[in-house]
Structure 1
């Protein structure tokens, strides 16, 4: 670029050549974000050279390069953030032989880990550095998006234990139901109540947060809202909602049947603030499966709203109190449900029956589930290192097709 002259007749050609060259930076740095191995040395690069010559390019080429730069910079930022994270700095010294090592091969949807660092046992180290893939005692794989991280098959060293981690319903990721694939893993960490490590959507802190009374009065609250964007529809929720909305007005802030706009979207905080403004919240799961009770149900309760629920057949065992949600199975049709909701939105006495549970002790069955989450799932995984290893039928794993929800 420094040797180019962009003021001649071939300015457009040279600008386009620079666009093609800069595309390589976009590709390279986007890939960089997935290199979770500290043995990789980042080569010297000229990513920022664009700003020295960008005004010499044609307008179209300049705009294209700037967009490519933004993508490349985000990849670089993501890599450096990982490289400087606690989960890497912890291993800057030699690992003592008595210390056990857990490698988290890929985090959930590439999100940061929320493990309470101060509670990790002194003789246990958790890392995301894949240079320890062959030597770690445990390797945790987040299965739903694992295929995005694998370039080739993995070999499983003798004695190493593999953990299958997923909070997604198997109805949406059928390979999770494939016995041949799943038998590679020694332990399962999921929302299933019979998993080796139960990792649910409810948290230990909910024992106090759930009983807080709503901040808004009945007359200040709006009626019904929903926020559904995922295209997954194994539960048939789209068809049910389409009919339901013929009989009752629902404010939809998600991509599905969108008719309202969230003025400021800052993630979870914005969603919770929105839910606090409504009497009812549509809490329809994307699949109907035992134990698959997600944040859709609990976010509504935490916000002081009443969830209208479709999903897990055993939802009652996950409810913190009696009569704390509207179960659509109690209604013969969407039209009958709509008639009840219309009346409940007008009648404060009917609505308040759904809040009475907050004045009473939480259900013992639910409290037992909550108490089991006193220790974070990954801390419980550390404790598993002291158990004798289970027998694995064979070693090796194959890539499986998976699509992000």
Structure 2
């Protein structure tokens, strides 16, 4: 008999006797999100933020704005005015966010704000406005609340624009380990506006330049040359696209963001543990957590990259001239290349921890010249000791 429209069909009724106590469930959930680089998103005439809602949701849907306290000081009124001009009901949750507060307590604060707001998890997005720490905290909370609430990311720091704001990973620190708990939760939209960088201090701009330099060293020689030629000027101009460095700022941002997305897209859930974008992130997590609050994330990454460059030089993958050029550019971008905590004991411990989280293999990306990389699995303690000592000597002698 053919089932009618009101009847359900239960295929399990026709399963053989041998297969009635075993099941295999297979499902695929596609992920698609837009990343847009634009200017002046808080201008009420600019529709970018208005349209930053999940597909099929009206632009005037309610928003919960979760915003970093420093960003709120500069732009809180502008966000509120924008929402009011477009008749968007909203509420605001202000967070103090830096690496020392990147923990469960701030995630809980966001979850409580979501509950008070009574957010509709299918139709009302969270707008997360801040740096990488805030974006991680809010993304993690969004992934947990009702098993997934839409998030619109508005990165306001350079590291947020080119790295932390455009992937799908979320995470917070736990038990003195960096990003030890987290999820994969794609934003519904990512809106990138370099205008926010006008109020970012010089050190935090330099911090973001470390992640741009990472992309250059592992896969984009042209990007490295741009940083070599224009990096100091871009730092001084705060990456604004309205002055003499306009074209360089645009190309550096586009190449950094595009290169990162090209690397992330085929491996969003990190099923492959060989990720070239892990360059600079093998020793830095341990160093960063030990040095808190002294070192920023990008500064720890810079030290990691400098060390990896020396490891590569010792193996003949990088020439002395290339190594000198890399370290000289790091200094020009006002990034550190060493730190007193960077002892052989710390480096050995850091590599051990990284190896545990890369499936029992080092999978250590090392540069090959400038603009390419390869993975190695056999770095030993003596190599680390020699590289660390050489790096400290180079840092001391300038």
Superposition TM-score tier, normalisation by shorter sequence:
under 0.3
- Structure showing greater relative contact order (alpha-carbon pairs closer than 8 Å, 6 or more residues apart): 1
TM-score by length of 1: 0.25
* Higher-helix-fraction structure: 2
* TM-score of the superposed pair, with normalisation by structure 2: 0.25
Q: Which has the larger radius of gyration?
A: 1
